[in-house]
Structure 1
């Protein structure tokens, strides 16, 4: 049972014509009222309030589509508690349902589908991305295809064998994976007695197996993929630029601005930890300045060209992803690699970016959410003759 929280009747929240009402959508929780990153929600509410925009958290269960008000949560700074109150029905809904499993629940899918068809309601970031779909979309376009490593659905041993004939290193990724969970690498070392090296990312560190034949390698891969119960893709491994013998990649945040156009909000860098397959910070990686790292590898002049390419590429990728998805997106983070020659590669996009730790990126990311919300609200009120719908 959801914990009972008394309504806070000490405040009255009323909508205004010139500003949107923004609801942060999540899912209810039996123990803690609602799920999601509470620090992120607090930051969003504070930013919205600073910009004069009503902002609150609402659960899938509490979000009623045909009532003038809904029950939601706001954060009371005075005593640092979450309180439940009555808020105007939102006209902008920011989907922050935190887990794919939650988003796949039938009642959640029905609510999201209903929201996408609701007149006067703008829903952005409707669902998590599927890795296979992303690579299909980006391979369809001649402007984005050069940035995509060769990628195949991992359906049988022949797929794995054929890729290994062309690439000595492969990454095997669950199509609905998150934060590096379940990622594997396969490396061919023909000079070894056991030529196939399989490394599996775990919660802490990684495990390594060596296999003598393709058949044994495949059986080990299938056994591991069954643990997650997810289909996998196999992807060409890219030899990334390294610093102090550690590879690093770039994390870019792309968002819609106040004019409704895609814009780069910032680029960070993540350096891989010892024995880690990925550069995720929780797995031993660390944050660093992208320009500093690139200069140490390529020098200042080439670094400027690489960063310019990264900036242009992120916008090109975002436009193609949104065009192929056929629904409105507000933001996405991207994992990009730079190889030893300075070529830029796309590895992954996330429709629900995690918080960036770099303060300048974090602050801009919060502001952009509401700048874009204001833009959507203007579109809505213009089409309705100045009324809130």
Structure 2
């Protein structure tokens, strides 16, 4: 057992007396300590022997907070960033991780990056890396109680070692892994469809259990899109529609958006059967999207929780499809444009006022993440919402992404928002670890 040093004022604010035995936690490790009252605020409230017991390196900064929710002192703040790297290679998204580390350091948060083989389960520690200067330095710390899932792709997230680690983390009482997995398009649609207020925002969507399932949608909407339920970055999307010469059109995201050949119903079904042999697909109502410079565009809205766990909109911008294409993903050649300029340039009816659209985006950007999080029973910290306006000015939700890619350049607008997009998950992790001056937590 060690000692926690507090001033009389600090102890009085928390409601603790000298000699009282208290619980002290760092990450998921904990121990008992005794409170000692001192006349002046100590340089450090925890001595090296107590930090050593918690497996907290003495060369790293350590703050102390009191969490009324836990009825315990917390040493930290500590945030785990779960990522992936091949042996002897840098972490994937290394540039993003380095920027995140720099901001964490400025915010007083110790953020340790680790992979699926870096945990000592018996000792409840993790040996990961922390940025010191501009170089990664290996460091052993207590296994964080709060972990930000930054596994960068579905390919990595489906690896057995990643799946096994997440299962073991789920068995640790009190541990929080936020943004625990990628979202399934069909699951997401079903969850949102249960909410009456959200239904008008959703294009008609069906699970393609067999190729023939798409024809009622084609008959009703004339154009539909089929999308892999686990797809990202616009990959694997096809557009199917009625061809003016008879038959049907089939256009991939690689094709220029011209009608091209006419296919028979049998040929379309054969193509879809081959796709369904590889993965599951949904069919979605085609929309006549508003245009910018003759190209369809959609709207990416990044919603994140702040340092009090409240959903906020970090940034909103338009994404314009490359010439002749129907997908606007920036990774596939799309072009970003500020939201105000996007709405000014869009082919919208005069009666559709920009301020009204901005208010709708604000409302949905704050409510949809909350609705999805509650419906899916997951702890989420950030979401990428892809919305679009049709040529009549009606707003639609195309899909929601649980692992939004955040660019480090200023192409999406204000560079302060680029920084904020990386800071907010850190602030949210700090809040979850018990370092919050509201809601009953106190910092000695």
TM-score range for the pair, normalised by the shorter chain length: 0.7 to 0.9
8 Å contact from structure 1 (residues 259, 372) kept in 2: yes
Residue by residue, what CA displacement relative to the aligned partner does 1:230-273 show, whole Å, maximum 9, x if unpaired? 11110001111101111111000111122212111110111000
Residue by residue, what CA displacement relative to the aligned partner does 1:296-318 show, whole Å, maximum 9, x if unpaired? 33469701101110111122211
Matched, 1:24 2:81: yes
Matched, 1:200 2:252: yes
Cα 1:220–1:207 shift into 2, 3 Å: farther
8 Å contact from structure 1 (residues 24, 55) kept in 2: yes
Q: Alpha-carbon deviation of 1:276?
A: 1.8
The two structures have a TM-score, normalised by structure 2, of: 0.77
Residue by residue, what CA displacement relative to the aligned partner does 1:170-192 show, whole Å, maximum 9, x if unpaired? 11100101111111111212x31
For 1:13, the equivalent position in structure 2 comes to 60
Structure 1 unmatched runs, 5+? 1-9
**SS of 2:353's equivalent?**
helix
For 2:38, the equivalent position in structure 1 comes to none
Q: Alpha-carbon deviation of 1:383?
A: 11
For 2:214, the equivalent position in structure 1 comes to 160
**What is the alpha-carbon root mean square deviation over aligned residues?**
2.7
- Which segment is superposed worse, 81-90 or 284-293? 81-90
| Aligned match for 1:267, one of 298, 316, 320 | 316
Q: Alpha-carbon deviation of 1:89?
A: 2.5
Residue by residue, what CA displacement relative to the aligned partner does 1:197-227 show, whole Å, maximum 9, x if unpaired? 101124x97897634421111112333454x
Q: Alpha-carbon deviation of 1:64?
A: 3.2
Matched residues in 1 for 2:264 and 2:427: separation? 56
Q: Alpha-carbon deviation of 1:380?
A: 9.5
Cα 1:300–1:285 shift into 2, 3 Å: farther
Matched residues in 2 for 1:261 and 1:66: separation? 35
| Aligned match for 1:252, one of 286, 290, 301 | 301
| Alignment size in residue pairs | 370
Q: Alpha-carbon deviation of 1:73?
A: 1.2
For 1:41, the equivalent position in structure 2 comes to 97
Structure 1 or 2: more helix by fraction: 1
Q: Alpha-carbon deviation of 1:382?
A: 10
Cα 1:82–1:55 shift into 2, 3 Å: same
Matched residues in 2 for 1:70 and 1:14: separation? 17
8 Å contact from structure 2 (residues 296, 326) kept in 1: no
Structure 2 unmatched runs, 5+? 1-56, 66-75
**SS of 1:253's equivalent?**
strand
Matched residues in 1 for 2:100 and 2:323: separation? 35
8 Å contact from structure 1 (residues 183, 277) kept in 2: no
8 Å contact from structure 2 (residues 434, 441) kept in 1: no
For 1:337, the equivalent position in structure 2 comes to 388
For 1:5, the equivalent position in structure 2 comes to none
8 Å contact from structure 1 (residues 127, 351) kept in 2: yes
Q: Alpha-carbon deviation of 1:11?
A: 8.1
Matched residues in 2 for 1:350 and 1:118: separation? 27
Cα 1:235–1:382 shift into 2, 3 Å: same
8 Å contact from structure 1 (residues 332, 351) kept in 2: yes
**SS of 1:143's equivalent?**
coil
For 1:307, the equivalent position in structure 2 comes to 358
Within a 5 Å distance, the mapping from 1:142-161 to structure 2 comes to 142-161=196-215
Q: Alpha-carbon deviation of 1:66?
A: 4.5
Q: Alpha-carbon deviation of 1:57?
A: 0.8
- Which segment is superposed worse, 64-73 or 145-154? 64-73
For 1:349, the equivalent position in structure 2 comes to 400
The two structures have a TM-score, normalised by structure 1, of: 0.87
For 1:284, the equivalent position in structure 2 comes to 333
Matched, 1:60 2:116: yes
Residue by residue, what CA displacement relative to the aligned partner does 1:327-352 show, whole Å, maximum 9, x if unpaired? 21111011110111221111111111
Matched, 1:295 2:344: yes
Matched residues in 2 for 1:327 and 1:224: separation? 30
Q: Alpha-carbon deviation of 1:323?
A: 1.2
- Which segment is superposed worse, 46-55 or 295-304? 295-304
